[in-house]
Amino acid sequence: MEPKAVIVIFGATGDLAKRKLYPSIHRLYENGQIGNEFAVVGVGRRPWTNEDFRSTVQQSVSKFPLNEKDV
């Protein structure tokens, strides 16, 4: 399946992405504002594998959940 949209995050290994961007993208998905047919491409300076990237995103979504005041 080819994605209909691609989100490219420059600085994907940084603190802003972990604290704000990944939780925000996850919230959009949970609220049905973006569907299954999108991809996220992360660009950063650290030599991460795809699994490293996925693990970091999963951890950040659970560690830094957004609440209503963040929106």
Rounded to whole angstroms, the Cα distance separating 53 from 50 reads 5
Q: Provide the residue ranges of all domains of the chain, joining segments of one domain with +.
A: 5-70
4-32 tens-digit pLDDT:
889 999 999 999 999 999 999 999 998 99
Fold of the CATH domain 5-70: Rossmann fold (3.40.50)
Element (H or E) spanning 40, and its range?
A: strand 38-43
CA distance 57 to 49: 13
pLDDT-based confidence at residue 59 (cuts at 50, 70, 90): very high
Query: Could you give the C-alpha distances from 16 to 1, 4, 38, in angstroms and in order?
Result: 30, 25, 21
Does residue 69 carry a pLDDT above 90?
A: no
Euclidean distance between CA atoms 57 and 63, whole angstroms: 10
CA 11 to CA 69: how far, in whole Å?
25
Q: What is the pLDDT of residues 34-48, one digit of tens each?
A: 988 989 999 999 898
